[in-house]
A and B are shown apart, each in its own frame.
Chain A
Amino acid sequence: GQQLNQSPQSMFIQEGEDVSMNCTSSSIFNTWLWYKQEPGEGPVLLIALYKAGELTSNGRLTAQFGITRKDSFLNISASIPSDVGIYFCAGQLGKGAQKLVFGQGTRLTINP
C-alpha cells in the first residue's frame, strides 16, 4: 500500500534549537498534514497543507507542501520543553477520499 517515509526517526536537541523533519512518498497527495502525539493521547493536528508549494505557519511551526506533491517538511523554531512528542506527517490521496496515510513518526526529545 501507500507509504510515507518520514525522517529522522528520532531527534535529541537542546532547548532553544530549531528542528526540521520531512516526509517523502512515491505517491502524489492532494493534502499533507502534520500531527503531534503525546503519550496516551491521540494525534492532534498542527498544520494542514492543501496546495503544492504552499508554505504555512502556525506560531513557531512552519510547514511546506512540496511542489511535486510527493513531499513535505515541518520546521519548529526555538524549541521549548512542551514540544516533546512524536510528530507524524499524513497524506490524503485524492479529492473526497478521507483515508489518511501516516508516516512512521519522528520522536523529539529536548534536553533543558
Chain B
Amino acid sequence: GAGVSQTPSNKVTEKGKYVELRCDPISGHTALYWYRQSLGQGPEFLIYFQGTGAADDSGLPNDRFFAVRPEGSVSTLKIQRTERGDSAVYLCASSLPLAGGGVNEQFFGPGTRLTVL
C-alpha cells in the first residue's frame, strides 16, 4: 500500500516568505508527527497530532511555526517569515492508534527539503 507522502519534495524560497509543507499519512494512521532534520544531524521532534488535535507541540522552535490537521488525516506545516536557519529536511511520520501507552512504529515519509535563500 501507499506509504507516507510529502509535497513538495523540494522547496526553495526567499528569506521572509511564507511556506506550507504537506503530509499525507498512511490511511488509518491516527497519529502524525513532524520532525526537522538539519544537515548531518538526526531528526528533531517538532509536533505530534493524535487525530485533529496537537498532543505535543513542545518541539516547535518559535511562533513562526504552526501545524494543522483539520480532518485528522492530511497535515500542513506552516512557516511564516522564513529565515535562512529554517533550511532543513522536514520529515513527516505516521503511526497506528496507540495501544497501552507503548510505542507504535512511526513510518516516515521522504521529507521536504526546504532551502531559504
Q: Mark B82-108, 1 if CB is under 8 A from A, else 0.
A: 000000000101010010011111101
Residue of B4, B41, B91, B106 with most chain A CB atoms under a 10 A cut-off:
B106
Q: Are B48 and A42 in contact (CB under 8 A)?
A: no
Q: Please report whether the interface of chain B is mostly helix, strand, loop or mixed according to DSSP.
A: loop
Tell me the count of chain B residues lying within 8 A, CB to CB, of chain A: 29
B105 & A48 in contact (Cβ 8 Å cutoff): yes
Interface size class of A (residues with CB under 8 A): 20 to 34
Measured CB to CB, the nearest residue on chain B to A4 is B42
The reply to whether B45 and A101 form a contact with Cβ atoms under 8 Å apart is yes
Known: A88-B42, A100-B45. A95 touches B110 (CB 8 A): no
Whether the Cβ atoms of B103 and A42 lie closer than 8 Å is no
Chain B contact residues, CB within 8 Å of chain A: 4, 31, 33, 35, 40-45, 48, 55-56, 58-59, 91, 93, 95, 98, 101-106, 108-111
List 11 A-B residue pairs with CB atoms under 8 Å apart, sorted by A's residue number. A6-B42, A31-B102, A33-B103, A41-B110, A42-B109, A88-B42, A98-B33, A98-B48, A99-B56, A102-B42, A102-B43
Residues of A within 8 A of B (CB): 4, 6, 31, 33, 40-45, 48, 50, 88, 90, 92, 95-105
Known: A96-B98, A99-B33. 16 other contacts (CB 8 A): A4-B42, A33-B103, A42-B4, A42-B91, A42-B108, A42-B109, A43-B108, A45-B105, A45-B106, A95-B101, A96-B101, A98-B56, A99-B58, A100-B33, A100-B43, A102-B44
